[in-house]
Amino acid sequence: MAGQRVSRRTLLTAGSTSGLGMALSAAGCREAPAPLSPAASIEGPRRFPTGFLWGTATAAYQVEGAWNVDGKGESIWDRYVHTPGKIKHGDTGDVALDHYHRWAEDVRLMQDLGATAYRFSVSWPRIFPNGTGAPNARGLAFYDRLVDALLGSGLQPFLTCYHWDLPQALQERGGWESRDTAQALADYAGYLAGALGDRVRHFFTLNEIATFIEWGHGPDSLIAPGLRLPAARLNQARHHAVLAHGLAVQAIRAGGRPGTRVGPAENVTVGVPVVESPEHVTATEQFMREANAGYLTVMLEGRYTDRFLARAGADAPRFTPDDLKVIGSPVDFVGINVYMPRYVRADETQGFEAVGWSASHPRMQSPWHYIGPEALYWGPRHVARLWKASDIYITENGCGAADAIAGDGRIYDTDRIMFLRSYLSQLQRATAEGIPVRGYFHWSAFDNFEWTGGFGTRFGLVHVDYDTLKRTPKLSAQFYREVIERNAVV
Ligand code: FCB
């Protein structure tokens, strides 16, 4: 592999001098231009800061399989996928990629990418089969092995405590509608920090509260637990989830070690100004605060905005001043999952107006996925400006592309390369301006179980054949490896 890389680079240099240079002189230039130097054109201005972390992200339910192995309890996702008609083609995560048994190969594949970090989630019901009570040592042993293998391979583990797989037993006791679930999550997170905090330094509390609350409990529900709650109950469930975040921040600090660091991994709605002029930029910042009021804004400010409470009216969540203090517990970093932008303009009466999504790229597979690379510039910029975040991670970014296996058995996923190159260019603009983004986690390392979309939507840098479970790096894996190696957009 390394040999291949050397020869590609040699080819690039040779091409720029003898190929392009000769063509220009032949076309009649008086002087042949100076040879293009990869160091100047690529590794100079398009570089990321030294020490920038490059990783990939996955979630337990989407990759592990082994759904009822080694004492694991049932999760709301196990229950949901086993309910006929919920998931495309009746797919389930019962086996998924069988990462639970093939973790060693998967760690090797990430090492081959040259990645320096890996974001994964722990399955709560593997550790506490009923949500609370006595921990299951066999479940923990899996993550022990994984963490050791990651560290041994030069990959920093970034652990997400909750990526949507609530123990079914807790759902039966009210799920996120119950305040006790928030405390149970904190107890579980504190336990993880105690058990793994000697080796894991970075902990994320909950993944995308915005998604699992709205799309699992709201009027258009299509993910587990598949409830359709009236507004007041929905608002209360959301409040309990952000409360769980705050309680977990405190529990992880208490359970961890002196260097333990903790923060959210939230799906932000990112406003992009229609024109980069001061009035539209200011309007977009206001939009960003309000569009995320029930999630990141309350977590980072410890208060619900006036507009948010006015909009909710009589259905607003019930909370105490102490709740808000807990929710706003200081964090060490802010993780944001960024997929697409909303375009925003200044409006004289309301301050701002969201005027639309970006264009839909016809070949991106997820119907929700509008393409807009500027989101990866504006997302971190808003987080840094609005909330003075000193460390930001892009905890997810990626695309479902129309990956087909070519006649030679390879996967030339040029859609994903187009996506990565354009989004990373915007991220590089952010870091070049001094916005404190410390790392990027591509969603995802491997094709995996894409929730309601089942196995039909492929987000991986590595292709998975779901019949044989064979893993094959796609062309985008090669692209990403070059990005990592040069620490630059290539
Ligand atoms: C995010 C989820 C992640 C994955 C990607 C495509 O919303 O956090 O699990 O499904 O979307």
pLDDT (tens digit, 9 = 90+) per residue, 214-232?
A: 999 999 999 999 999 999 9
Q: Residue 130: is its pLDDT beyond 80?
A: yes
State the average pLDDT over residues 346-359.
Answer: 87
State the average pLDDT over residues 40-68.
Answer: 88
Within 10 angstroms of residue 152's Cβ, the number of other Cβ atoms is 10
Domain CATH code at residue 335: 3.20.20.80
Q: What local confidence, expressed as pLDDT, does residue 40 receive? A: 41
> What are the two backbone dihedrals, phi and then psi, of residue 235, each rounded to the nearest 5 degrees?
-65, -35
| Whole-number Å distance between alpha carbons of 334 and 383 | 8
Q: Residue 401: is its pLDDT beyond 90?
A: no
**Residue nearest (by alpha carbon) to ligand 1 atom 10:** 450
SS3 assignment, position 416: helix
Mean of all residue pLDDT scores within the chain: 91
SS3 assignment, position 264: strand
pLDDT-derived band of residue 2, with 50, 70 and 90 as boundaries?
Answer: very low
- Of all residues in the chain, the percent with pLDDT exceeding 90 is 87
Q: Residue 333: is its pLDDT beyond 50?
A: yes
- The first and second tokens of residue 433, run together, are 């301006």
Which of 64, 208, 266, 285 is the catalytic position? 208
pTM: 0.91
| 49, 287, 223, 180 alpha-carbon torsion, rounded to 10° | 90
Relative to the CA of 62, which ligand 1 atom is closest?
9
**Least confident piece of the model among 122-131, 316-325, 347-356, 416-425:** 347-356
Is residue 396 within 6 Å of ligand 1 at its C-beta? yes
**Residue nearest (by alpha carbon) to ligand 1 atom 5:** 443
Q: What local confidence, expressed as pLDDT, does residue 437 receive? A: 98
Pocket mutation for ligand 1, best pick of 61, 423, 451 (most atoms within 8 Å of C-beta): 451
Task: Output 25 or 163, whichever has higher pLDDT.
Answer: 163
Ligand 1 centre distance from Cα of residue 286 (Å): 26
pLDDT (tens digit, 9 = 90+) per residue, 413-467? 999 999 999 999 999 999 999 999 999 999 999 999 999 999 999 999 999 999 9
Ligand 1 centre distance from Cα of residue 446 (Å): 13
Task: Output 446 or 35, whichever has higher pLDDT.
Answer: 446
Pocket mutation for ligand 1, best pick of 337, 365, 416, 448 (most atoms within 8 Å of C-beta): 337
**Residues with Cβ within 8 Å of residue 439, at least 6 apart in sequence:** 52, 53, 54, 55, 117, 393, 394
Angle ∠(208,462,366) on CA atoms, nearest 5: 45
**Residues with Cβ within 8 Å of residue 294, at least 6 apart in sequence:** 210, 235, 238, 242, 304, 308
pLDDT-derived band of residue 12, with 50, 70 and 90 as boundaries?
Answer: very low
Asked if 396 is an active-site residue, the reply is yes
For 94, the domain range is 8-486
Relative to the CA of 211, which ligand 1 atom is closest?
7
Ligand 1 centre distance from Cα of residue 57 (Å): 10
**Residue nearest (by alpha carbon) to ligand 1 atom 2:** 208
State the average pLDDT over residues 65-75.
Answer: 98
**Least confident piece of the model among 43-57, 127-141, 240-254, 325-339:** 43-57
| Whole-number Å distance between alpha carbons of 374 and 426 | 6
**Amino acid sitting at position 354:** A
State the average pLDDT over residues 271-283.
Answer: 97
Q: What local confidence, expressed as pLDDT, does residue 33 receive? A: 41
Q: What local confidence, expressed as pLDDT, does residue 357 receive? A: 74
Q: What local confidence, expressed as pLDDT, does residue 367 receive? A: 76
Peptide bond into 84 cis (omega under 30): no
124 part of a folded domain: yes
Q: Residue 4: is its pLDDT beyond 70?
A: no
State the average pLDDT over residues 235-241.
Answer: 98
Ligand 1 centre distance from Cα of residue 337 (Å): 8
Q: What local confidence, expressed as pLDDT, does residue 364 receive? A: 67
* Count of structural domains within the chain: 1
| 291 touches 271 (CB < 8 A) | yes
Q: Residue 270: is its pLDDT beyond 60?
A: yes
Ligand 1 centre distance from Cα of residue 459 (Å): 9
Ligand 1 centre distance from Cα of residue 485 (Å): 26
436 part of a folded domain: yes
Residue of 57, 213, 72 whose CA lies nearest to 121: 57
Is residue 443 within 6 Å of ligand 1 at its C-beta? yes
Task: Output 31 or 246, whichever has higher pLDDT.
Answer: 246
Is residue 59 within 6 Å of ligand 1 at its C-beta? yes
| Whole-number Å distance between alpha carbons of 341 and 424 | 15
Is residue 451 within 6 Å of ligand 1 at its C-beta? yes
Q: What local confidence, expressed as pLDDT, does residue 246 receive? A: 99
Residue found by looking up tokens 């998975």 in the block: 464
Relative to the CA of 450, which ligand 1 atom is closest?
10
Residue of 76, 100, 55 whose CA lies nearest to 169: 76
Q: Where are the alpha helices (DSSP H) in 197-315?
A: 209-217, 231-255, 278-291, 298-301, 306-312
State the average pLDDT over residues 19-43.
Answer: 36
Q: What local confidence, expressed as pLDDT, does residue 160 receive? A: 99
Is residue 80 within 6 Å of ligand 1 at its C-beta? no
Is residue 457 within 6 Å of ligand 1 at its C-beta? no
Ligand 1 centre distance from Cα of residue 270 (Å): 16
3 part of a folded domain: no
Q: What local confidence, expressed as pLDDT, does residue 363 receive? A: 56
State the average pLDDT over residues 199-205.
Answer: 98
Relative to the CA of 207, which ligand 1 atom is closest?
8
331 part of a folded domain: yes
Angle ∠(226,215,379) on CA atoms, nearest 5: 160
17 part of a folded domain: yes
2 part of a folded domain: no
34 part of a folded domain: yes
| Whole-number Å distance between alpha carbons of 450 and 400 | 9
Is residue 267 within 6 Å of ligand 1 at its C-beta? yes
| 370 touches 305 (CB < 8 A) | no
pLDDT-derived band of residue 32, with 50, 70 and 90 as boundaries?
Answer: very low
- Of all residues in the chain, the percent with pLDDT exceeding 70 is 90
Rg, the chain, Cα only: 23
